[in-house]
Amino acid sequence: MTERKQLAKTEDNTPATVHAEVPDFLKGHQNDQRGSEEVGAEDLVIPRVDLIQGLSKVRKKTDPNYIEGAEEGMFYNVVTRYLYGEKVNVVPVYFQKQYLLWRDADLGGGFGGAHHSHAEAEGARQAQENPEEWEVVDTPTHYCLVLHDDGSTEEAVVSLAKTKAKASRYLNSLVRINGGPRFSRVYQLKGVPEQNSKGQDYYSVQVANVGYVSKELFDQASRLYETIKNGGVRVDQGEEVVAEGTGYPGEEDGEI
């Protein structure tokens, strides 16, 4: 039997062979895709960027979705769990209206799929064992490139449903007023406090112009646009939408 070698570990129990920063020998290998030659679009998902609310699971220490440092009004990546803060800069690449089917969070939650029309989603709702436990949520979906302070980017989806639908309409209006391809400019999304007619506090999104993209960023966005248009991406919806989609302060009809 081969003897297993015990790896040295750091104080936080991380193996000493793991580096937090890119080591020198890997720099310049960002475009090296060896080992992933057979990974296709069907094997990938675009993560979703969400806005943290007061009752979001990521703020509850006893919940497996908890993220240390998460505060309401912050944006975060549902897949990587990365906290962007109260502001995030994005390049909108593609807009799509989806109709998502969600089960009431108080009944355990659940995602029933993304549909292209309200009628299609309603048919899926009626096909559920207990249709009354499910809700069709009209969801404006913005495929984007998220910009980091260090100049790096990542592909992500920003869903602006219900109370955030106003921000979606404002973003689309800015894009039209500015003219040119959707991905020719950078926009800032900011979490802002709001209050509904019942006096309940929640966070919505404020949108503002930032500036034009670079040629490199424009070309990257163009490639993503073609991939999305040809149906080559899937979106990781995550479970947090369940908590915000039904029975949440500020999420009632008419509060947008």
Q: Quick check: is 119 in a domain?
A: no
> How many folded domains does the chain comprise?
1
Cβ(224)–Cβ(143) below 8 Å: yes
- Tell me the pairing of strands 153-159 and 201-212: unpaired
For residue 207, the model assigns a pLDDT of 97
Half-sphere exposure of 93 (CA within 13 A, CB side): 27
Q: Quick check: is 236 in a domain?
A: yes
For residue 102, the model assigns a pLDDT of 83
State the residue range of the domain holding 229.
Answer: 49-61+74-94+145-245
Q: Quote the distance between the C-alpha of residue 243 and its chain's center.
A: 15
Burial letters for 197-231: b for 16+ Cβ neighbours within 10 Å, e otherwise? eeeeebbbbebeeeeebeeebeebbeebbebbeee
For residue 184, the model assigns a pLDDT of 97
Phi, psi (rounded to 5 degrees) for 76: -150, 160
- Partners of 121 in the β-ladder: none
Helix (H, G, I), strand (E, B) or coil at 187: strand
Q: Quick check: is 86 in a domain?
A: yes
Cβ(52)–Cβ(74) below 8 Å: yes
In 3D, which of 171, 138, 157 has the Cα closest to residue 224?
A: 157
Helix (H, G, I), strand (E, B) or coil at 43: helix
Q: Quick check: is 197 in a domain?
A: yes
User: Where would I find the beta strands (DSSP E) of the chain?
Assistant: 48-51, 75-77, 83-85, 87-103, 111-115, 134-147, 153-159, 185-195, 201-212
For residue 115, the model assigns a pLDDT of 83
Q: Quick check: is 90 in a domain?
A: yes
For residue 13, the model assigns a pLDDT of 55
Q: Quick check: is 218 in a domain?
A: yes
Q: Quick check: is 44 in a domain?
A: no
Phi, psi (rounded to 5 degrees) for 223: -65, -40
Residue 155 CA to residue 225 CA, distance in Å, equals: 11
Write out the two tokens for 126.
Answer: 């009626």
For residue 12, the model assigns a pLDDT of 54
- Partners of 89 in the β-ladder: 147, 188
For residue 248, the model assigns a pLDDT of 39
Report mean pLDDT in 10-residue bins for the chain, 256 residues.
Answer: 47 62 78 75 77 90 92 93 95 91 79 83 89 88 94 92 90 96 97 88 94 96 91 64 39 37
For residue 109, the model assigns a pLDDT of 76
For residue 2, the model assigns a pLDDT of 45
For residue 33, the model assigns a pLDDT of 72
Q: Quick check: is 226 in a domain?
A: yes
